Amino acid sequence: MIRHVETRRSGSTRPARSLLLCGVQRVGTTMLCDLLTTSDRLGYPKEFFLPQARPAFLRAWNFPDDVANSTFLHRILHDGTTRNGVFAAKIMADQLDEVDRVTDGAGLRAFPDPLAVVLTRDDKVAAAVSQWRAEVTGEWSSRAERAAHPIDPAAADIDRISELHDRKHEEESAWRRRLSLDEIPWIEAAYERWSPRPLRLVGDIADRLDVDLVGASATTALRPQRDHASALVLDRWEQSTHGCRRCADARRRLQRSPGTRPHRATGPRPPAVRTRQR
């Protein structure tokens, strides 16, 4: 159960731009939220539309259970906006119904001048293994050198991993359909490509929002949770299911050409791209 939500008072209640972090589980959304929040210039992204977190937000904001959607949304915009007028929110694919409900049907267009960042993972089997591991251990993020709760690869739930793998393919496609339907510009950033140099992605986002990061500091203490046990679980899943060709191809491409790559801009009205060395 979520008992507490960290709220942060912003300096602007009237955002001019919106940054929507559109993700699925285990694609680095928490790491990117840390980086954006600590920059103090790219919004304060929180998971405002997670239904399980709503009671905690209501308590933190002293709102009654039956608060009007317009009031709740106004506070979301206030709490997620930095002093320079940039609002940010983290939204998972399975939270779109809640977004539609809170915005009284306006959906993603309720946010001023939105730019979406679709966070993906080329190897969705690895993402599924990571989520299964988090579900089993309760360890969804880590700031330690080693996992606090090691896993036994022999105990891997192959059926659950298969379900999560299929869902990730479906949810990424759902994001592209929804953003196209709502005519919202977006960029895609695959975890395997941006996580080795996350500040590059932060810089790209700032460029597209025309935000100056000179003097800013973006940091995170999060560490990757993948280890040898995760690799053994992935191997066991592939042996049991004959694998996923798309994910295996992505893994081979990454092995042949490791490292970061430019992010792909897509969707209607893509913003101009200006690259600066940081």
pTM score of the predicted model: 0.87
**Is a pLDDT exceeding 50 seen at residue 198?**
yes
- Give residue 17's Cα distance to chain centre: 18
Residue range 76-120, pLDDT digits in tens? 999 999 999 999 999 999 999 999 999 999 999 999 999 999 999
Q: What percent of the chain has pLDDT over 70?
A: 85
Q: How confident is the model at residue 274 (pLDDT cuts 50, 70, 90)?
A: very low
Query: For residue 139, what pLDDT is reported?
Result: 86
Mean of all residue pLDDT scores within the chain = 87
Query: For residue 60, what pLDDT is reported?
Result: 96
Residue range 169-180, pLDDT digits in tens? 999 999 999 999
Number of H helices, E strands in the chain: 10, 5
Q: How confident is the model at residue 262 (pLDDT cuts 50, 70, 90)?
A: very low
Query: Any residues with CB less than 8 A from the CB of 161 and at least 6 apart, and which?
Result: 125, 128, 129, 132, 233, 237
Query: For residue 269, what pLDDT is reported?
Result: 42
Query: Any residues with CB less than 8 A from the CB of 64 and at least 6 apart, and which?
Result: 58
Query: Any residues with CB less than 8 A from the CB of 267 and at least 6 apart, and which?
Result: 116, 179, 180, 183, 184, 185, 186
Q: What are phi and psi of 90, to 5 degrees?
A: -100, 125
Residue range 25-74, pLDDT digits in tens? 999 999 999 999 999 999 999 999 999 999 999 999 999 999 999 999 99
